[in-house]
A and B are shown apart, each in its own frame.
Chain A
Amino acid sequence: MIELRNVSFIYSDDGPFETKALNDISLKIEDNGFYGLIGHTGSGKTTLVQLIAGLVKPSSGEILIDGVNIAEKKFKMRDMPQRIGLVFQYPEYQLFEETVFDDVAFGPRNMGCDEAEVRRRVTEALQTVGIKEKYYKASPFELSGGQKRRVAIAGTISMEPPVLILDEPAAGLDPHGRESILQKITKLQKDRKITVILVSHSMEDIARTAEKVIVLNKGKLEMLGTTREVFAKGERLSEMGLSIPEISRVVLGLRERGINIREDVLTVDEAAEEILKLAAEKGLIK
Chain B
Amino acid sequence: MIRDITLGQYFPGNSVIHRLDPRIKIIWTFFYIVLLFFVNNFWGFLVYVVFTAIIIRLTKIKPKLIFRGLRPVLFLLLFTVIVNVFMTGGGDVLFKFGFLTVTTEGLKFAGLMAMRLILLVTGTSILTFTTSPIMLTDGIERLLSPLAKIGVPAHAIAMMMTIAIRFIPTILDETDKIMKAQKARGADFESGNIIKRAKAMTPILIPLFISAFRRADELATAMECRCYHGGEGRTRFKQLKIRKLDIISLLFAPLLLAAVVATKYIF
Contact among B3, B62, B177, B188 for A88, CB-based, below 8 A: B177
We find that the number of chain A residues with CB closer than 8 angstroms to chain B is 27
Q: A50-B180, A93-B178 are in contact. Are A111 and B186 (CB under 8 A)?
A: yes
> Interface with A: B78-86, B116-124, B200-208, B221-229, which one?
B200-208
The residue in A15, A94, A95 that gathers the most chain B C-beta atoms within 10 A of its C-beta is A94
Q: Give Cα A91–Cα B187 distance, bound, in whole angstroms.
A: 15
Interface presence of B182 (CB below 8 A): yes
Interface of A toward B, CB cutoff 8 Å: 13-16, 50, 53, 55-56, 77, 83-86, 88, 91, 93-96, 106-107, 110-111, 141, 155-156, 159
Which chain B positions have C-beta within 8 A of A106? 182, 185-187, 203
Instruction: Name which of B62, B64, B186, B203 has the most chain A CB atoms within 10 A of its CB.
Output: B186
Give 13 pairs: A residue, B residue, CB < 8 Å, sorted on A.
A15-B11, A15-B62, A16-B11, A50-B180, A55-B184, A91-B181, A93-B207, A94-B181, A94-B182, A96-B207, A110-B185, A159-B185, A159-B186
Given contacts A15-B65, A94-B207, A95-B207, contact A86 B187 (CB under 8 A): no
Rounded to whole angstroms, the CA-CA distance of A106 and B207 in the bound complex is: 14
Q: How far is the CA of A54 from the CA of B184 in the complex (A)?
A: 8
Q: How far is B35's CA from A46's CA once the two chains are assembled, in angstroms?
A: 50
> Which B residues lie within 8 Å of A13 (CB)?
3
Closest residue of B by beta carbon distance from A55: B180
Residues of chain B contacted by A83 (CB below 8 angstroms): 186
B198 to chain A, nearest CB (A): 15
Chain A nearest CB, measured from B153 CB (Å):
33
A153 CB to nearest B CB, Å: 11
**Residues of the B chain whose Cβ atoms lie less than 8 Å from the Cβ of A107:** 185-186
Find chain B residues with CB under 8 A from A155 CB: 185
Tell me which residues across on chain B come within 8 A of A156, comparing CB atoms. 184-185
Q: What is the minimal beta-carbon distance from A154 to any residue of chain B, in angstroms?
A: 11
In the bound complex, residues from chain B placing their C-beta under 8 Å from that of A96 are 202-203, 206-207
Judge whether B54 is part of the interface by a CB distance below 8 angstroms: no
Q: What 0/1 pattern do residues 234 to 257 of B give for CB contact below 8 A with A?
A: 000000000000000000000000
Question: From B186, which residue of chain A is reached at the shortest CB distance?
Answer: A110
Chain B contacts for A91, CB-based, 8 A: 181
Instruction: Report the Cα distance A88→B177, complex, angstroms.
Output: 8
Task: Give bound CA distance, A14 to B6, whole Å.
Answer: 13
Inter-chain CA distance A107–B188, complex, in Å, is 11
The residues of A that contact B207 with a CB separation of less than 8 Å are: 93-96
Binary flags per residue of B62-81, CB closer than 8 Å to A gives 1, else 0: 10110000000000000000
Is B183 in contact with A55, judged by CB distance below 8 angstroms?
yes
- Give bound CA distance, A136 to B190, whole Å: 30
Question: Which 8 pairs of residues, A with B, have the shortest CB-CB distance?
Answer: A110-B186, A96-B206, A107-B185, A86-B184, A88-B181, A94-B181, A55-B180, A96-B203
Q: Give the residues in chain B near A14, CB-CB below 8 Å.
A: 64
